[in-house]
Amino acid sequence: MKNTAVAKVLQDIADLLELKGENPFKVRAYQRAARAIEHLPTEVERMVRNGGELENIPGVGQALAKKLTELVSTGRLDYYERLQAEFPEGISTLLDIPGIGPKTAMRLSSELGIKSIDDLESAIGEGKVAFLFRLGERTSDNLLHQIQALRRKDQRIPIGEALPVVEEILSALRPLPGLRNLTPAGSLRRFRESVGDIDLMGTADDAGKAIEAFVDLPQVKEVLARGSTKASVIVSGGLQVDLRLVEHERFGSLLQYFTGSKQHNIALGERGHRQGLKLSEYGITGLASGQTETFASEEAFYHRLGLQFVPPELREGQQEIALAEQDSLPGLIEVTDVKGDLHVHTSWSDGRDSIEAMASAAAVRGYRYLAITDHSAGRGIARGLNEERLRQQIAEIRELNRRLAGIRLLSGAEVDIRADGSLDLPEEVLSQLDIVIAAIHSAMGQDREKMTRRILRALDSPHVDILAHPTCRLLGEREPIMVDLEAVFLAAAAGGKALEINAMPSRLDLKDIHVFRARELGVKLIIGTDAHSTGHLDFMRFGVGVARRGWCEAEHILNTRPLAEVEAFLHS
Ligand code: DGT
Ligand code: CA
Ligand code: CA
């Protein structure tokens, strides 16, 4: 059972307990545990198998630990089933829809017999929902909008596809006179690996004009909704883009609210409430005075609450608010901290460009060093290098280093880890390289034990410096390999090996929560683009985004260090 499924059960229980009018502390405990489990780097199922660490999960006490054990070992939870039996069928489904609270869900169920989202959609169509609640059509329409959004959310779009589309829209709109502060918010700004929809925020002298320009963009295929200050469209590729505009002086609260995450906002709102304040996209309102203060910047918004500015990538409702209170959030790595790329391919193997072209493209990006890491001959790898060719390449790189100024090339290889964990190049060749990256490219279906042993064996080689794309997943295409990552992290930390955050948008591997855990365990990390052409060097920003979501500072990432330090690591 996956952690997301476990978290869903706990969230359902919280909803049902709330519906029952149970003690809010109990409800909150379940919500908190659900959130923690959703972000847990280790599978609960595995923790149970290894015995007992469950109570280290925030919000999980003895009783809940027992329930989790039952759930993941049998796939069922008696307590949950009995609780569900107290309510009409389909209640949990209704509660999943934003805008439907417990009371509404109960009435929809008991008075209209609604059991599913399809039922609800037809009831709205027949006007029954508007009638039941004596709602205006608007609220009922809004529900319909939420349903459609929910459906669309099943098809999340990888950030690597969404970001270029968004940037194109931003550059088309930015020149409009009187339009300012145009910025993506939502999951895209938080740099989640996939996004449900795009939320753009801005401020305008004349919002109506800006909205008109937005819906008239050539990228727009369909206009879902259009008002005087906001609009929702579908652009080519099926992505939904919402634009909201407010007056300039309210930009801070607008951006803060719609950046989310929802969990972060809820936690922030609860804290505000204890301070006698109500937070919204319009500003901060004193509960006693009824006066609303406006905020032109997010910094000012957070400061008013007594908090350090929280970088968007950290706003996931974990510990960021508690740490912001103590002014102790990490200073996250920035793209400009990166001093070189340690994983690139050239036309010697399956890359497009020459070593020299890659070197000058790297120099243009301000890099001090670049590791050339073409594939080994391995099985199934396009045009991998055999020993002979690799020796020639080492000689050529030596020659180039004599000629090139400002950037240092490192001779390397991305050596294939064979099915038994042995490496695809002889020791004698590996020992002549400055840097050796090991990676899996075949036999990905091995079971967990075998795969873990295979990777640990590769990491055991004194020549290997880095394990690349450790889980081998391809976003939306290939599931990660089955491997005991915790064991890999521990071995890497003990053996002084680095793990890669592969920045290729189709990989993003390690991913955010794994980066978080690896860093916690003191594992050295690198960000590699795996570039197969000069343009791919720009993937670096995706890797930096993942590192930021893993709470990494520059010091955690080897290729932000000066060359001497990188060389010291490689020689150690
Ligand atoms: P997505 O689109 O699924 O990738 O994820 P987000 O985070 O972009 O979510 P979205 O587009 O539904 O909403 C954008 C932000 O608006 C969200 O991150 C926080 C805020 N927001 C939306 N609904 C709620 C809500 O019910 N309560 C609170 N406090 N904030 C919300
Ligand atoms: Ca969104
Ligand atoms: Ca949205």
Q: Which residues of 137-165 are buried (b: 16+ CB within 10 A; e: fewer)?
A: eeebeebbebbebeebeeebbbbbbbbeb
**Bridge partners, 478 (sequence order):** 474
Q: Whose CA is nearest to atom 15 of ligand 1?
A: 258
CA of 477 to the centre of ligand 3 (A): 25
Ligand 1 atom at minimal distance to the Cα of residue 194: 4
For 565, list phi and psi in degrees, rounded to 5. Answer: -70, -40
Ligand 1 atom at minimal distance to the Cα of residue 153: 3
CA of 179 to the centre of ligand 3 (A): 21
Query: Best substitution site from 201, 259, 265 to test ligand 1's pocket, by max atoms within 8 Å of Cβ?
Result: 265
Q: Is there a contact between 384 and 375 (Cβ–Cβ < 8 Å)?
A: yes
Tens of pLDDT, residues 513-558: 999 999 999 999 999 999 999 999 999 999 999 999 999 999 999 9
User: What does the alpha-carbon distance between residue 355 and residue 444 come to, in Å, rounded to a whole number?
Assistant: 30
Q: Is there a contact between 260 and 293 (Cβ–Cβ < 8 Å)?
A: no
Task: Give the pLDDT confidence score for residue 100 in this predicted structure.
Answer: 82
Ligand 1 atom at minimal distance to the Cα of residue 266: 29
Tens of pLDDT, residues 367-376: 999 999 999 9
pLDDT tens, per residue, the chain with 572 residues: 888 889 989 999 998 998 888 998 899 889 889 988 887 778 888 888 877 678 888 788 889 999 999 999 998 999 999 999 998 888 888 888 877 878 888 888 988 899 888 899 898 888 888 888 776 666 677 788 778 777 765 678 999 999 999 999 999 999 999 999 999 999 999 999 999 999 999 999 999 999 999 999 999 999 999 999 999 999 988 899 999 999 999 999 999 999 999 999 999 999 999 999 999 999 999 999 999 999 999 999 999 999 999 999 999 999 999 999 999 999 999 999 999 999 999 999 989 999 999 999 999 999 999 999 999 987 556 678 999 999 999 999 999 999 999 999 999 999 999 999 999 999 999 999 999 999 999 999 899 999 999 999 999 999 999 999 999 999 888 889 999 999 999 999 999 999 999 999 999 999 999 999 999 999 999 999 999 999 999 999 999 999 999 999 999 999 999 999 999 999 98
CA of 259 to the centre of ligand 1 (A): 7
Ligand number nearest to the C-alpha of 196: 1
Q: How many Cα neighbours within 13 Å face the side chain of 335?
A: 12
Closest CA to 59 of 33, 84, 81: 33
Q: Whose CA is nearest to atom 27 of ligand 1?
A: 262
Strand segments, DSSP code E, in 313-470 are 340-344, 369-375, 408-416, 435-439, 466-467
CA of 201 to the centre of ligand 1 (A): 13
User: What does the alpha-carbon distance between residue 434 and residue 475 come to, in Å, rounded to a whole number?
Assistant: 31
Closest CA to 410 of 563, 225, 537, 190: 563
Closest CA to 27 of 316, 325, 266: 266
User: What does the alpha-carbon distance between residue 15 and residue 127 come to, in Å, rounded to a whole number?
Assistant: 27
- The secondary structure of 374-413 as a DSSP string is EEBSTTT-TT-B-HHHHHHHHHHHHHHHHH--S-EEEEEE
Ligand number nearest to the C-alpha of 99: 1
Q: Whose CA is nearest to atom 30 of ligand 1?
A: 262
Task: Give the pLDDT confidence score for residue 382 in this predicted structure.
Answer: 65
Task: Give the pLDDT confidence score for residue 131 in this predicted structure.
Answer: 82
**Bridge partners, 189 (sequence order):** none
CA of 13 to the centre of ligand 1 (A): 22
User: What does the alpha-carbon distance between residue 309 and residue 303 come to, in Å, rounded to a whole number?
Assistant: 7
Q: Which residue has the tokens 């010697």?
A: 348
Strand segments, DSSP code E, in 319-453 are 340-344, 369-375, 408-416, 435-439
Q: Whose CA is nearest to atom 16 of ligand 1?
A: 258
CA of 254 to the centre of ligand 1 (A): 12
Task: Give the pLDDT confidence score for residue 48 in this predicted structure.
Answer: 87
The DSSP code for 76 is -
For 448, list phi and psi in degrees, rounded to 5. Answer: -55, -45
Query: Best substitution site from 4, 187, 266, 278 to test ligand 1's pocket, by max atoms within 8 Å of Cβ?
Result: 187
User: What does the alpha-carbon distance between residue 12 and residue 2 come to, in Å, rounded to a whole number?
Assistant: 16
Closest CA to 3 of 543, 474, 499, 517: 517
- Ligand 2 ion: residues within 5 Å (CB): 186-187, 197, 199
Burial class (CB in 10 A: 0-12, 13-18, 19+), 533: middle
In this structure, what token pair is assigned to residue 431?
A: 């020992």
Closest CA to 459 of 429, 428, 484: 484
Tell me which residues have their CB closer than 6 angstroms to ligand 1: 98, 153, 186-187, 192, 195-197, 199, 257-258, 260-262, 265-266
Q: Is there a contact between 438 and 468 (Cβ–Cβ < 8 Å)?
A: yes
Q: Which residue has the tokens 């400002």?
A: 406
CA of 244 to the centre of ligand 2 (A): 12
CA of 261 to the centre of ligand 1 (A): 6
| Domains by residue range for the chain, with CATH | 3-153 (1.10.150.110), 154-246 (3.30.460.10), 252-325 (3.30.210.10), 335-571 (3.20.20.140)
Ligand number nearest to the C-alpha of 257: 1
First to last CA, the chain: 41
- The secondary structure of 155-197 as a DSSP string is S-EEHHHHHHHHHHHHHHHTTSTTEEEEEE-HHHHTT-SEESS
Task: Give the pLDDT confidence score for residue 147 in this predicted structure.
Answer: 82
In this structure, what token pair is assigned to residue 317?
A: 């409702």
User: What does the alpha-carbon distance between residue 361 and residue 374 come to, in Å, rounded to a whole number?
Assistant: 17
Task: Give the pLDDT confidence score for residue 17 in this predicted structure.
Answer: 92
CA of 33 to the centre of ligand 1 (A): 20
